Structure 1
Amino acid sequence: MNEQTNLFDSMTAEVAVDGRPAQLFELKNNNGMAIVLMDIGAAWLSCKVPVDGELREVLLGQSHMSDFQLQQSYMGVTVGRVANRIAKGQFSIAGVAHQVDINQAGNTLHGGTYGFDKRRWIATDNSEKNSGENSVEFELVSPDGDQGFPGELTVKVKYQLTEDNTVVLSYHGKTSKATPINLTNHAYFNLLGADSGQSALTHSLSINSGVFVPTDDVGIPTGEWLSVQGSHFDFITTKLVAQDFMLDKHQQAAKGYDHAFVLDKSCLQGALAASLTSPDNVVTLSVFTTKPAMQLYTGNWLAGTPNRRGGEYQDYAGIALETQFVPDAVNHPHWDHPNVVLQPEKTYQHQTCYQFTV
C-alpha cells in the first residue's frame, strides 16, 4: 500500500494542465489486486497483481504529473473522440465534408492535439457509495466543433475491479449530431513487471483473428484486409511476440507491430479476443471485448518516455492491446465493419475486460 500512497502523493504534488491537482482513485479486491485511476485523461495509472505474496506492477506509467504530461505515448489514458488514425483528418457524413485537427504526419491521431487524453473528466467513485460495485466512472462533455468534430458528445468510461482479478472498462456515448466515435484505453502491459527493464517482446501472445489491416508508411490503412495465414501476423496459435518480429515490410515500416486485427465474430459472443503471458509463465492477461478489432502495438517508439523511477523506458518495454474499430474506418464504409458514426438517436456502448490470472 505504501507505493500506492506514494503515487497519490507524487502525482498530485504538481498541478495538472488546468492549474488544479489531479484526483486519484484506488480500487482493491479481496485478493489484494489494486488499480489506480486518475481524472486527467480518465487514465489507468497502476495495476498491481498479487504474485507469490507480493504485488507485481504490470502497467507502464509515470509517478509525477510533469512526466505524465511530457510523455507522448498515451500511457493508460482514454483516447477519443476517435482512437487511432483518420487519413488527412478528413471524412464526410451524409455528404457533408469535415476537417478535424491534424497532429501526426498529416493525419489525425487519437482525436487530435487536444484529445480526450488531455482533459479533466468528472469522476464518480461508486466504490464508496455502498453500491456493491467496486468501480469509478468518468464523464466528459465534448462540445460541438471540438477539434473539428460535429456534435456535442457526452461520453462515460467506467472502471470496475472484480473479485476474479478482472478490470472491466465500460464505454457509453451520446451525441447531438452524427459524429464518429471510437474510444479505447491505451494501457501498456509488461507482465514480468513494468519496472523489470525487460523487453515485452519476450511475452507469449495469441489473438483470435484471421485478418490484419496493412498500412502505409504513416499508419493509414491501405484499404485492403489480408489473411494472417502464412504471414508474420498469425497469432491464432500462441507464439512469442519476438518470433516473427520485424521480418516483413509491414512491420519494418512501423518499427514493429502497430496494426489492427479484425477479431473473429465469436468474440462478440464472449470468446477470448487475445491472451498475453509473461515470459516467466506466471501472469496471463486475457482480453474480452465487444469491439470488432484490436490494435497490437509493441511500444515501437517508447524510448525516452519517462518511467516511474526517474529513468526512461526503452522501445518495446510494453505491449498495448487496444480494442477499437479499425483505423480510418470512417473513410471505408464498404468494409465489413460496424459503422463508426454515432447517430443522435443511438447510444455508443462497448465493454472490454482485462482478466489477470496467476
Structure 2
Amino acid sequence: MSVTAVPRITRSRFGMLPDGGEVERVVLQAASGLEARIMTYGASLQALLVPDAAGRRDDIVLGHDVLDGYLARRQFFGATIGRYANRIAGARFMLDGKKVQLAANNGVNALHGGPEGFDRRNWRIVAIEDGDRPAVTLAYTSADGEQGYPGTLDVELTWRLTGPMELSLDMTARTDRPTVVNLTNHSFFNLAGARSGQNILDHHLTVAADHFLAIDAGAIPLRQPPCAVADTPFDFRAGAAVGARIRDDHPQIRVGRGYDHNFCLGPTSSEPHFAARLAEPASGRVLELFTNQPGLQVYSGNFLDGSTAGKGGRLYRQSDAICLEPHAWPDTPNRPDFPTARLGPGEVYRHSTRYRFTHAHPGAIETQSAVESPGGAGR
C-alpha cells in the first residue's frame, strides 16, 4: 500500500470465523508513512508499518497475513489481553472475602484471561473517526462469570494516530460487580521488520525501572519484595543490547529462559509517562513507549520455537521479537502488597499507552556487545 498524502482510514473484511462471524480490519494511515492495521478478532494490531531512517517502510510486528493463522494457534500476536493479563497463581484469589475460581490454562495457573480470553473474541466496531487523527474504537462485553471472573465488564478501546509518528491505545472498563481488571496489548516487536530474518538481540533497550519481580518456575512472582535491578542483567536504566546479558548465569535469567519479567515502573498515573525505549541499529528505527500503567512485562520471545510460520511464510524462532506489555503486576489479586487491580461499580479502569517512533542514524545506536544467535533455536 502506498504512502498516503493525508491521514486516512479504510475498513474492509479480513476473514470469516468458523461460526460465520465476519472479522473486519481497519487501516489507519498517516502522511508520514506510519500505518496501523487493526482487526476485530482480539482487537489486535495485525500490522504496523513504520518508515526507517531512509524512509523505507516495514511491518514491525509479528503475526499472520491471513486470519486462519490466528485461529489455528493461540499465540497472542498483537492481541488485546484480558480480563487479566499475565498470570494469577493457582487460578484463584479472594475478593471481598469470597473465593474466585478461574479457568486454569497455564499448568495450575490462569494466563492472559484463561483458555478463552479477550484475544479469542471478535470485538465490535463502535466508532470510526477520519481526519487528522484517524481512529477506530472497538468494544466487548464480558459476561458475569466468563472464565470465572465476577461481574459484567464493558470494555472499550481506541487505536488512534495521535501524531505523524505516534500510535496511541486507550482502554476503559466498567463493571456492575467488584472484579479485577488488567488489560494490555501483546504485540511482538522486531524493528528490523517482521520478515527481515533478524532477531532482536542487537536491539538496544532502555527501561525506566529500578526494580523487577523475581519469578518461580511457573512465572509467578516470588513471595518477596521487588528486586533492585542494580548489578544484575535486568538493569536497563542506561540502555543495553537485549542480548548483551541474556546468557549471564543469573538465576532469574535461567528460570525465565531469558527475559520474561515484570519491571516496576511506579504507581498508576492519569497520564502516560516514559517507560521504555527500543532502538534497532541497522534501520535506525526507535520506539519510545509511554504508559500510565505500574508495570512493564519484558518478554524476549523465549518460547518462539520455529513451529509457527508467520508473515511471509517465515518460521518464528527464539528471540525473533520482543514484547513490551504495560499492565498491572502479575498475580496482584493474590498479593495485597502489590498495586491493586480491583475495579468496583461506579469506577472506571483506564489504560493509556503511546507508541512514539523516531529515527537514529543507522549504526549509531549503541549495542554494548557483539551478540550471538541463541544456539539451536535462533538465527
In which range does the TM-score fall when normalised by the shorter chain? over 0.9
2:336 to 333, 346, 354: 333
Partners of 2:150 and 2:33 lie apart in 1 by: 44
Partners of 1:159 and 1:222 lie apart in 2 by: 35
1:18 aligns with 19
1:209 aligns with 209
2:162 aligns with 162
Q: What is the one-letter code of the residue matched to 2:332?
A: A
1:350 aligns with 351
Moved more, 150-159 or 14-23: 14-23
Moved more, 149-158 or 297-306: 297-306
Cα 1:20/1:301, change in 2 over 3 Å: same
Partners of 2:198 and 2:242 lie apart in 1 by: 13
Partners of 1:269 and 1:229 lie apart in 2 by: 27
Secondary structure of the corresponding residue to residue 141 of structure 1: strand
Partners of 2:76 and 2:289 lie apart in 1 by: 20
Secondary structure of the corresponding residue to residue 40 of structure 1: coil
1:239 aligns with 240
1:314 to 314, 317, 324: 317
Contact 2:31/2:164 (<8 A) preserved = no
Cα 1:265/1:102, change in 2 over 3 Å: closer
Q: What is the one-letter code of the residue matched to 2:304?
A: L
Q: What is the one-letter code of the residue matched to 1:127?
A: E
1:136 aligns with 136
Moved more, 223-232 or 112-121: 223-232
Secondary structure of the corresponding residue to residue 352 of structure 1: strand
Task: Report deviation, 1:246.
Answer: 3.1
Secondary structure of the corresponding residue to residue 75 of structure 1: coil
Q: What is the one-letter code of the residue matched to 1:352?
A: T
Partners of 2:347 and 2:270 lie apart in 1 by: 19
Partners of 2:98 and 2:315 lie apart in 1 by: 45
TM-score (norm 1): 0.93
Cα 1:231/1:198, change in 2 over 3 Å: same
Task: Report deviation, 1:252.
Answer: 1.4
Q: What is the one-letter code of the residue matched to 1:199?
A: N
Task: Report deviation, 1:30.
Answer: 1.4
1:289 to 276, 291, 296: 291
Partners of 2:114 and 2:124 lie apart in 1 by: 21
Secondary structure of the corresponding residue to residue 252 of structure 1: helix
Secondary structure of the corresponding residue to residue 333 of structure 1: coil
TM-score (norm 2): 0.88
Secondary structure of the corresponding residue to residue 276 of structure 1: strand
- Where structure 2 has 5 or more consecutive residues not aligned to the other structure, the ranges are 4-10, 360-379
Secondary structure of the corresponding residue to residue 254 of structure 2: helix
Q: Deviations over 1:258-287 (max 9, x none)?
A: 000001459866542100001326100000
Moved more, 278-287 or 175-184: 278-287
Partners of 2:258 and 2:169 lie apart in 1 by: 27
1:98 aligns with 100
Percent identity over the alignment is 32
Moved more, 136-145 or 48-57: 48-57
Contact 2:273/2:292 (<8 A) preserved = no
1:178 aligns with 178
Moved more, 61-70 or 293-302: 61-70
Spell out structure 1 runs of 4+ moving beyond 3 A: 264-271
Secondary structure of the corresponding residue to residue 355 of structure 1: strand
2:227 aligns with 226
1:46 aligns with 47
**Alpha-carbon RMSD:** 2.0
Q: What is the one-letter code of the residue matched to 1:232?
A: P
Cα 1:252/1:21, change in 2 over 3 Å: same
1:113 aligns with 115
Q: What is the one-letter code of the residue matched to 1:95?
A: G
Contact 2:272/2:352 (<8 A) preserved = no
Partners of 1:269 and 1:37 lie apart in 2 by: 24
Secondary structure of the corresponding residue to residue 27 of structure 2: strand
2:83 aligns with 81
Secondary structure of the corresponding residue to residue 222 of structure 1: coil
Corresponding pairs, count: 349
Q: What is the one-letter code of the residue matched to 1:49?
A: V
Q: What is the one-letter code of the residue matched to 2:137?
A: E
Contact 2:304/2:319 (<8 A) preserved = yes
Contact 2:34/2:164 (<8 A) preserved = no
Partners of 2:269 and 2:283 lie apart in 1 by: 24
Task: Report deviation, 1:19.
Answer: 2.1
Q: Which has the higher helix share?
A: 1
Q: What is the one-letter code of the residue matched to 1:67?
A: G
Partners of 2:259 and 2:175 lie apart in 1 by: 33
2:69 aligns with 67
Cα 1:45/1:205, change in 2 over 3 Å: same
Contact 1:208/1:264 (<8 A) preserved = no
Task: Report deviation, 1:133.
Answer: 3.5
Secondary structure of the corresponding residue to residue 351 of structure 1: strand
Partners of 1:196 and 1:306 lie apart in 2 by: 14
Contact 1:27/1:127 (<8 A) preserved = no
Partners of 1:165 and 1:53 lie apart in 2 by: 12
Secondary structure of the corresponding residue to residue 151 of structure 2: coil
Q: What is the one-letter code of the residue matched to 1:121?
A: W
Partners of 1:229 and 1:139 lie apart in 2 by: 41
Contact 2:268/2:292 (<8 A) preserved = no
Cα 1:267/1:150, change in 2 over 3 Å: closer
- Where structure 1 has 5 or more consecutive residues not aligned to the other structure, the ranges are none
Cα 1:70/1:246, change in 2 over 3 Å: farther
Task: Report deviation, 1:82.
Answer: 0.2
